Amino acid sequence: MALLMQQAHFTESDPWRPLIVISNFALFQAMINDPNTPARIGRDMKGLQTLGCLACYKPDVFGEVVEAAKTHDLDKMKAIGDKYERSK
């Protein structure tokens, strides 16, 4: 998360907590909707720990998040997670 803040040029006086939450949302959505994830973690969500860092697991999505975060527009970051959400 420090790397995200640094690369997105956020300071401690910027809204960094929402940055962290929204980036985790985007990475989680991308991870959970990746067809390869069930094979890696099984059907038990406890298996998530085997994936390690979500930014490392989904580096392409992390790159998208960083680019969106550079604009300081948190809605752009949320849109990244939204695009990975399964159709209901």
pLDDT tens-digit map of 54-66: 999 999 999 999 9
How far apart are alpha carbons 27 and 84 in whole angstroms?
Answer: 9
**Mean pLDDT score, 37-60:** 87
**Cβ contact 65:27 at 8 Å:** yes
What's the pTM value of the predicted model, to 2 decimals? 0.85
The pLDDT tens digits for 10-35 are 998 988 899 999 999 999 999 989 99
Per the model's pLDDT, the better-predicted residue between 40 and 44 turns out to be 40
Return the percentage of the chain with pLDDT > 90, whole number. 52
**Mean pLDDT score, 75-88:** 80
